[in-house]
Amino acid sequence: MATANYGPTLERWLQRLANAGRSSRTLAAYRSDLDDTMATVAGLHRLVPDRRTLERLPPDDRERTLLGAFDELDLSAVTFDELDEAIAEFRTRPDPRFRTNPQRAPEERAPATVARRTAAIRTFFAWCYATDRIPADPAAKLEAPKRRKRMPKALTQDMASDALEQSGQGSRWPERDELIIALALACGLRLEEIATLRLDQVQGDPPDALIVRGKGDKERRLGVPPVVREALAAYLPTRADRLDTLRLEARTVVISSRPRPIKNRAGDAIGVTVESSRETVAYVVDRLLRRVGARQAQIRVHALRHTFATLGLREGAFSLRQLQVALGHASLATTQIYTEVADEEIAAAMQLHPLSGSRSPRL
């Protein structure tokens, strides 16, 4: 059996996934999770310095050091204990997103985040074993943490209505921001789906359908509600004017206010673009949530999608099966979380029960 070194083997696996139709974002997530894991494993094999020393290196030196180690790391020499240790190190490592506010950082990474990384490791090593690149699968017995079941956070109907009405207020590009909020609240699109929606996926004149490419690169066709149709009619002319002024082209419906550099993996600028990014969409939604007083823990972009689903099911606009299709869920079990009754609704119902009144005093 030939030696399977991590670097070239990862590239071959990602190419296989791309050929199978996996999205570029999925491939990037796999690469990020695996590279970070194997950096820890490479340290255990003494191919790179410890993580603290590694992170102190200049970015270019760190990249060269890791790529050299990845090309040298023999996957057949990787053990279960090393992978388990790498996951434990990641789980307890300080989250860099809280670097400026470390007091707000959680003690450990969320179970869902650790579970995603564990799944990536298991999938990669299972493929290596199935294609005879390694003699045994060291990841086969890795167990993902159990995910805590949480009710989706959603806005109230009044808050959602206020969000739609105020979505363009205080914005430098109100037409664009109104469209972003309408796509989230009235169509239930994910952040990624809003950012990557292309102009050729808006069908009809006036628009009557959206072809949305969701998780797993699966497409679904959605009707265009009036609020989104009106937002598109107001926004698209301003989009065309902005592109003419900048002398640029863009495939995405939503575009950024300013050009930003396009960089290759080495960090070199190779051009500019105004095509939408996740950061553009998240910024617009966060600013609006602050305006309507709804910005709090677990209320982010995805909360607008939860609001679309919760209100649509509660008001009878969708059957459960219709909602599954509209949201692009692969499994009905995922959609069924919206059928759960909130604690405050149960408390209110308890007060209305015929036997819930106070007892009459005995004579």
- What are the angstrom distances between the C-alpha of 336 and each of 107, 135, 339? 31, 42, 5
Distance CA 254, CA 181 (A): 11
Q: Are 286 and 294 in contact (CB under 8 A)?
A: no
52 is catalytic: no
| Residue from 6, 30, 235, 338 carrying the catalytic annotation | 338
306 is catalytic: no
Give the residue from 198, 207, 167, 168 showing the smallest Cα distance to 185: 167
* The pair of three-digit structure tokens given for residue 63, joined into one six-digit string: 């990249």
Give the residue from 312, 276, 298 showing the smallest Cα distance to 179: 276
Give the residue from 113, 145, 33, 44 showing the smallest Cα distance to 85: 44
Handedness of CA 218, 223, 229, 233 (dihedral sign): positive
Q: Residue 154 corresponds to which amino acid?
A: A
51 is catalytic: no
| Residue from 116, 278, 300, 302 carrying the catalytic annotation | 302
DSSP class of residue 189 equals: -
302 is catalytic: yes
Tell whether omega for the bond before 111 is within 30 degrees of 0, i.e. cis.
no
260 is catalytic: no
> Beta strands 269-275 and 219-223: pairing type?
unpaired
Q: Are 326 and 183 in contact (CB under 8 A)?
A: no
Give the residue from 46, 34, 45, 43 showing the smallest Cα distance to 7: 34
305 is catalytic: yes
| Residue from 213, 215, 229, 260 carrying the catalytic annotation | 215
DSSP class of residue 209 equals: E
| Residue from 109, 133, 306, 329 carrying the catalytic annotation | 329
Element (H, E) at 319: none
Distance CA 267, CA 190 (A): 28
| Residue from 109, 176, 305, 306 carrying the catalytic annotation | 305
For the chain, strand residue ranges (E) read 202-203, 209-213, 219-223, 255-263, 269-275
Give the residue from 297, 301, 271, 114 showing the smallest Cα distance to 192: 301
| Residue from 190, 239, 242, 306 carrying the catalytic annotation | 190
* The pair of three-digit structure tokens given for residue 71, joined into one six-digit string: 């090309």
Both ends of the chain: CA-CA distance in Å? 91
Residues taking part in catalysis: 190, 215, 302, 305, 329, 338
